[in-house]
Amino acid sequence: MKRMSRTISTLALLLMSLGAAPSANAVGLLGFGPPPATFTNSAGAVVTVPGLPAWFQDQNGVAVQPCLEVEPCGLGLRAPGELGALDPGFNPALPLTFPGNFPDEAFYFNVDTGDFQVGPFTANFGIAQEIVFPDADGTPTFPSAPGVVPTPFQRMRFTYTYVGLAGAGFLPPAAVGGNFTISTPWGEATFSATDPAMFRPGIGCGTAFQTHDTKCVLTRDLFSVPPDFVPALGNGTVPFDNAMSTFLQDPAAPPGFLSDGLTPALTFTGAPPGRLNRFSVTDPMGNTGSTTQLRVVFGKKFGMEVKPVVNDFGSLPVTTPVTTSPAKTITVANINPTPLTLGTLALAGTNLADFTMAAGTCSAGVVLQPAATCTFTVTFAPKPLAPAPEVALRTAMVTIPGTFAGVAAPVARAVLSGTAQFTMGISAGANGIISPAGAAIMVNAGPTQFTVTPNAMFQVKDITINGTPATFTKPAKPGDPVVFSSLVLNTSGTTINATFMPSGDLDGNGNLDIGDALKASRILLGLPSAPTAADLVAMKVTPLDAAGRPNGTGAPDLNDLVLILRRVLGIVTW
């Protein structure tokens, strides 16, 4: 990540100077704190960085400021003169000053997965919200150089190494013409392994590890353009459905930070609701691999710290009266060096009626001293949605406003989610079965698939939803099962019922043939073996109802024999 190339940086700054329009795939962060960025150095002095946003906030409500501690922020030494004759260098052991003793590259947020296996090969993801200091020509340089502009940008980098193929910078033949499919906590992407917009020949892929491997690198940078810091595209199309919208963090991080900056995160949190905390790859040859660990993650929070930020209440049925989850306790901490005055906590979002919040010790007006905490509770009770369709995933949030010495802090969030389960009554009449059956719990919000199987000698007559006949495709043979998908979306209390009628296949061999008429003749004449109760029900096909379907009761007679013969000959159908 160190030292962004001059070519890419120059292009990006040129686009900025031309007023490039924000990309449709722009950074999905929630907001930012207006410049300047200020902090207190190790000597107790306040340092101000003009033009740099004080913080960026993600969709989970987590705000991060420039991470400027040696640990856990990964600040490295820069020797005097390293970036030019006038470069004073940077010594992280001394108190920071701006622009004198200041890093030429810093981060609000930085993640690196490390290399993980994808079959015999390796993949790596690196994502950062970064700061550089370009000069008037767009070249990153030291902060005190003439004409520099502090510039935040977001970088997403995907690296793939074809290990042990003696590639000397070339793609393996089996990869040519194939696609990569990658998944991050924020979105998916599929792109060609040879797409010049992704892996540019001579730049995107090259020789690695003494010519034994071929390493391909995809890098995309999104530059934030003042005054509103909307991201503008600096390096081609971002190949993700969603660019970074949330900051990832180690659940074992010390207060005020996304991690300790030293220990790899064996797990991580922060993915948006409905997304996995995982990076995965399928390569052009069909190899797959994933990781739920992070080799590097760091960032320094700003304002309030909410734990846990993401709160999943699991699955609960939609019932009357409602079924309510156990309460979850959520903690708010003041991680700033000045007192925090809380505003009024409030529920917001798509399904706020399904959640209940009690402010607890976080009521409006409470003052939290530095490092002090308060707690509130939330419960989940999914309710029927009107009008249908129901949705399974219910989401909301608790917004937590506050001020530091009268200045508004970024509004923190506790993100809430739960899954509504739909109870459906599923049944079948005599002479067949339906699966699933009974008081089934459904968690999907779309059409549900059922299999309706008649007994031998019968076929499906009707399938009803809440008493109304539904349309279904008749099978090629009347006695075959019917696979049925409900045409209405699930709502709690929905009933599905299947009924059956004689098929005319009286011998139960799956075909309508003369054997069925012969068996009907033997039953009617009392020859020679006694019919079963099912035989008698299956033979009673008269009279037909208004739709031309068997609707008889009682003992079979000559009319039933004639109708079965007509059915076998194809004169009548049902």
DSSP 8-state assignment for residue 455? P
Give the model's pLDDT for residue 109: 95
CB 516 within 8 A of CB 496: no
Residue 286 confidence class, pLDDT cut points 50, 70, 90: very high
Task: Considering only residues 223 and 363, tell me which one the structure prediction assigns the higher pLDDT.
Answer: 363
For residues 205 and 215, give the distance between their C-alpha atoms in angstroms, rounded to a whole number.
5
Residue 116, helix vs strand vs coil: strand
What's the predicted TM-score (pTM) here?
0.71
Host H or E run for residue 181: strand 179-184
The answer to whether the beta carbons of residues 22 and 232 sit under 8 Å apart is yes
Residue 98, number of CB atoms within 10 A of its CB: 20
- Nearest CA-CA partner of 496 in 464, 468, 473: 464
On the question of pLDDT at 167 being above 70, the answer is no
Spell out the residues 6+ positions from residue 46 whose beta carbon is closer than 8 angstroms to its own: 38, 39, 40
User: Whole-angstrom Cα distance, residue 288 to residue 280?
Assistant: 7
- 12 membership: H or E segment, kind and range: helix 6-17
How open is the CA angle 448-454-457, to the nearest 5 degrees?
A: 160
Q: What are phi and psi of 538, to 5 degrees?
A: -70, -30
* Percent share of the chain, pLDDT over 90: 56
Q: Which of 94, 46, 103, 41 is nearest to 75 (CA)?
A: 103
Q: Which domains are seen in the chain, by residue range?
A: 6-299 (no CATH), 306-421 (2.60.40.10), 448-568 (no CATH)
Helix (H) or strand (E) holding 295: none
Specify the higher pLDDT residue, 241 or 272: 272
Q: Is the pLDDT reported for residue 342 higher than 70? A: yes
Q: Is the pLDDT of residue 492 over 80?
A: no
Reply yes or no: is the peptide bond before residue 475 cis, omega within 30 of 0: no
Structure tokens at 238: 């971002």
Q: Please check the confidence at residue 345 and state whether its pLDDT lies above 90.
A: yes
Non-local CB neighbours of 85 within 8 Å, separated by 6+ positions: none
Across 425-442, average pLDDT: 87
Averaged pLDDT, 370-379: 97
Looking at residue 3, its pLDDT comes to: 39
Q: How far apart are CA 453 and CA 432, in angstroms?
A: 6
Q: What is the pLDDT of residues 51-101, one digit of tens each?
A: 999 999 999 999 999 999 887 888 889 999 999 999 999 999 999 999 999
More confident residue, 423 or 2: 423
Residue 145 gets which letter from DSSP?
S
Q: Which residues touch 292 (CB under 8 Å, ≥6 apart)?
A: 267, 268, 277, 278
Residue 477's CB: how many other CB atoms inside 10 A?
12
Q: What is the H or E stretch that residue 331 is in?
A: strand 328-334
Q: Compute the mean pLDDT over every residue in the chain, rounded to the nearest whole number.
A: 85
Which residues are 122's β-sheet partners? 117, 161
Q: Binning pLDDT at 50, 70 and 90, where does residue 249 land? A: very high
What is residue 17's predicted lDDT score, i.e. its pLDDT? 30
| Confidence (pLDDT) at 72 | 83
* pLDDT higher than 80, residue 26: no
Q: How high is the pLDDT of residue 495?
A: 87
* Residue 41 exposure: Cα atoms within 13 Å on the Cβ side: 15
Is the confidence at residue 434, as pLDDT, over 60? Answer: yes
Model confidence at 22, pLDDT cuts 50, 70, 90, reads very low
The predicted pLDDT at position 29 comes to 85
Would you call 24 exposed, middle or buried from its count of C-beta atoms within 10 A (0-12, 13-18, 19+)?
exposed
Find all residues with CB under 8 Å of 571, minimum gap 6, and list them.
none
E runs forming strands in 443-509: 449-454, 458-465, 468-469, 482-485, 495-502
End-to-end CA distance of the chain: 71
